[in-house]
């Protein structure tokens, strides 16, 4: 198999399996969110309230996908939408008190899941993989800008 084809296959498999392993950890710990919802709330924990557009830009997802993620987190009580004080036409997504209270536990689960997934791989190899993935992302962003 061509190296470029292997890369695509392995990246796709790794992405899928990483999400499945993380979801299993969340379910096993009775946390009712998806890996994608975790990424969104983790972003809000780190950066504070953001508009839907800001979330979409940072997560590199379309606004419709972000709307569904926010809706799911809102139904579960993790976030809510509030009117932006600076521009009443916009809403900002804010983590609720319940969502803040879950931060430590869910972050701990995420760290453990990543540790289990990456376990046994030497630090220098992980650093090299991160470096290569970063280069791939930069190449793909350049290609998308050309279109």
Dist CA 17 CA 114 (whole Å): 12
**3-state DSSP assignment of residue 91:** strand
Query: Over the stretch 82-108, which tens digit does the pLDDT of each residue have?
Result: 988 888 888 899 999 999 999 999 999
Q: Give the DSSP H/E element, type plus range, for residue 92.
A: strand 91-95
The model carries a pTM of 0.86
Q: What is the DSSP letter of 96?
A: -
- 3-121 belongs to CATH 1.10.10.10: yes
pLDDT score, position 1: 57
In this predicted model, which residue has the larger pLDDT, 66 or 144? 66
Distance from CA of residue 8 to its chain's centroid?
20
Angle at 47 between CA 43 and CA 53, to 5 degrees: 70
Query: Over the stretch 104-146, which tens digit does the pLDDT of each residue have?
Result: 999 999 999 999 999 999 999 999 999 999 999 899 889 988 8
Distance from CA of residue 117 to its chain's centroid?
16
Cβ-based neighbours of 24, under 8 Å, separated by 6 or more: none
Q: Could you state, in order of their start, the residue ranges of all structural domains in the chain?
A: 3-121
- At residue 51, φ and ψ (nearest 5 deg) are -75, 165
């Amino acid at each position: 198999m061509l190296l470029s084809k292997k890369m695509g296959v392995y990246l796709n498999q790794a992405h899928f399996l990483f999400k499945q392993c993380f979801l299993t950890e969340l379910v096993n710990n009775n946390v009712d969110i998806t890996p994608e919802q975790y990424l969104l709330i983790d972003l809000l924990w780190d950066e504070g309230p953001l508009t839907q557009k800001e979330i979409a830009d940072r997560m590199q997802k379309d606004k419709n996908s972000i709307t569904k993620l926010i809706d799911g987190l809102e139904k579960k009580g993790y976030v809510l939408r509030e009117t932006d004080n600076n521009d009443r036409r916009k809403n900002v997504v804010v983590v609720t008190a319940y969502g803040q209270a879950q931060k430590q536990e869910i972050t701990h689960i995420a760290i453990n899941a990543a540790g289990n997934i990456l376990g046994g791989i030497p630090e220098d190899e992980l650093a090299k993989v991160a470096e290569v993935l970063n280069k791939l992302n930069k190449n793909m962003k350049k290609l998308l800008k050309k279109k």
